[in-house]
Structure 1
């Protein structure tokens, strides 16, 4: 009685809820979000601790506070002159330790981790080695904590993605679902550490492509993971937005001309940034005839030289200096110098093999570029231009949008991180124009592909046009008998019938030969292992319902979608005038053979033409 009630309830729930498809994935995505939040928390504490010791303690360097952070107890301090040698030594040692760790245990963790996540999605079926997240977290903590010019987005994206991959593998999920959990993990990590739940979700689905393509199928898992990770991280640390937004607003059409000019400038500087970033790797560090383990130490030493030259602002993420620019406390000359210095420092840190991301440096460069442009416009056209601080905020999002090809992510993420949507319109204008002007080939993420059709992850998706032209009735073999089972047939008779049949799926019918359910060989394995059940188990107990079916006029694309959603290998074909009357069975193999025949026919026609 209880078993029958439970089965009936389950069948009813399946009618209302997609328990087999997205329901299961949502549950897994929430679990990934929990672990992404905990991973982000450990990484956040570890990075702050190393920075406090290495930069604050050893170097005596304390950057300004950003957002809700408490100002340094001793105020903003630059490295004292008598510790000049430590300014060179600390980043160099951090780079050395990073290089030894990464190239010994997980070479794929070098550089900015976002590319690793993108590569896993497109080319590795969502597989990320279990050790990669741990190595990436430690290596990035060493690189950024000792002054390397890098950010936290890449490491935390790879940490979250790595757990998503491990969970998907342990659960035995298929390649498509494992890829979804990889993106969900990346979204959760980014959402947590940057306090940007919507931005984190958009980042994971948008950063995969160098065009305007978006991985729409992953939006729900990414949103679920982002919300969970954001909520847990915020409950632990009670942090506010990373930046305090200036009290500025968009004044309408009169502001647009300068924002249009600024968008072009962002594209030009973005080209220089991407060009230098990749050429430092390919033409400077890669040809060096020394083991890769030691190259990040050279990058760290050169970053130390830039800091020693009077620009320690470029060390680590630089969020405090971004806040200073937002508050209007930096000069035009200093911000202009910091644009060039940060471009060089970021290339030296990451292109040498150091571990970190390009997100924070891109925000920094865009902020300083916007601040310098705004101050210059204010000097040239006093009283006729927006406040310079407005260009700082717009520059943060607009610049990153172009160099990373993520316009939606950039404008939403910067708005979330600053807690202000007052400049959403100019952010949209600058982000979209920058992406449109700067060619797809000039992106910081080399693993991006142009569109869905270029991704190995979607290689099978583009059979749709062919299958949509073939009907189920065209491939149905009416001469093939269907083994149907009465719903009241006891288990021993079911087993004898199955043993004599070559079929794998068995429709269950009532006394009027109407379809009431279906079971497969997999469904009766537990019954085969049972002992003493005998006539107590009937065919109706084995069957699941409602049954996914097709009619002869349905196309094979519809059938393929049902095969994928329900994760089954056969579908009953029913009479269109009586949807409960089974007239045949359609198999995956029939769909594949039909596709092959159609493609061979098409190729033959092309050769003749």
Structure 2
């Protein structure tokens, strides 16, 4: 279930980022992009302070179980002591993180994809386990372990790189106790998003420009081929109205 959930979150992240950055490309002026991106990012950080920065502080807090201060300095601080208050707050961050990343990247900043993927994955896994543990009829799930599994799942879905997600999180944990769950979540997430998107968030941009190189060699050659360098223009032409004598003169002058 976590793998499918991560695949759907990856699909949401990829599609929304592609759509938002496409809207920014319509703003031809650099300063317009900067102002619009700055305003959007400022509003989001004001409402959700954990969106500020690369997010590693939030990841560390969730993995260490010290998530009581995540809602500090936010307008949702009054809900800090409630079980579902934290759940709703993190779910909203899960939904709006893609807008913050898109505003940063498209506005001229350096937000990247790697760090937001880990950030979203940690929150997605934590939210999944946190919600499941609320119900008495479900088996207890380790929120820390599921946060790690979520990081691998989102990375596998967004980047279409399940092996990268598996080995990276395995190295981060310093052991291979979670190796089998990591494989299950990563592969499930990859299969889920692959059903909807054939390309990763990186190759999608190249595919939209017609610059994606694949294993089809003939297609790759045709993609890179510049027709202007192939078409020959240094030749003499003949027309249907020419007489035989005129055609003989043209052929005599032609070097072909």
TM norm structure 2: 0.69
- Within a 5 Å distance, the mapping from 1:43-62 to structure 2 comes to none
What's the offset of the Cα at 1:456?
4.2
C-alpha distance in structure 1 between counterparts of 2:201 and 2:45, whole Å: 24
Shift of 1:333: 2.5
Q: Does 2:41 align with 1:278?
A: no
Distance in 1 (CA, whole Å) between partners of 2:167 and 2:38 is 33
How has the CA–CA distance of structure 1 residues 420 and 336 changed in structure 2, closer, same or farther, with 3 Å as cutoff?
farther
Q: How many correspondences in the alignment?
A: 195
CA distance in 1, matches of 2:220, 2:136: 52
Residue 295 of structure 1 pairs with residue 3 of structure 2: no
Match of 2:215 among 452, 455, 473: 452
Q: Give the superposition deviation at 1:332.
A: 2.1
| Bigger relative contact order (CA 8 A; separation at least 6) | 2
Q: Is the 8 A contact 1:300 1:348 kept in 2?
A: yes
Once the two structures are superposed, the pairs formed by residues 597-608 of structure 1 within 5 Å of their partners are none
Q: Following TM superposition, by how much is the alpha carbon of 1:294 offset from its aligned partner in structure 2, in angstroms?
A: 4.3
Q: CA RMSD in A?
A: 2.3
Query: In 1, distance between residues paired with 2:95 and 2:179?
Result: 27
Q: 2:132 aligns with which of 357, 361, 377?
A: 377
Q: Which residue of 2 aligns with 1:388?
A: 143
Question: Which residues of 2 match residues 250-261 of structure 1 at below 5 A?
Answer: 261=1
2:114 counterpart (359, 363, 385): 359
Shift of 1:382: 5.7
**Bigger share in strand:** 1
- Residue from 289, 292, 305 that aligns with 2:43: 305
Equivalent-residue separation in structure 2 for 1:355 and 1:299 (angstroms): 12
Partner of 1:591: none
> Higher helix fraction: Structure 1 or Structure 2?
2
SS at match of 2:111: coil
- Is the contact made by 2:122 and 2:147 (CA closer than 8 Å) also made in structure 1? yes
2:77 equivalent in structure 1:
none
Cα distance, 1:430 vs. partner?
Answer: 0.9
The residue aligned with 1:346 is: 101
* Kept after mapping to 2: 8 A contact 1:275/1:442: no
Partner of 2:53: 316
After TM superposition, give the deviation of residue 352 of structure 1 in Å: 3.4
Identify the match of residue 441 of structure 1 among 192, 198, 204: 198
In structure 1, list runs of 5 or more residues that go unmatched.
Answer: 1-260, 460-609
* Secondary structure in 1 matching 2:151: helix
Q: CA 1:370–1:275 in structure 2 vs 1: closer, same or farther (change >3 Å)? A: same
| Higher Cα radius of gyration | 1
CA deviation map 1:559-597 (0-9, x unaligned): xxxxxxxxxxxxxxxxxxxxxxxxxxxxxxxxxxxxxxx
In structure 2, distance between residues paired with 1:267 and 1:278: 16
Structure 1, 425-434 or 329-338: larger mean CA deviation: 329-338
SS in structure 2 of the partner of residue 355 of structure 1 = coil
Give ranges in structure 2 of 5+ residues lacking alignment: 68-85, 224-256
Partner of 2:73: none
Aligned to 1:47: none
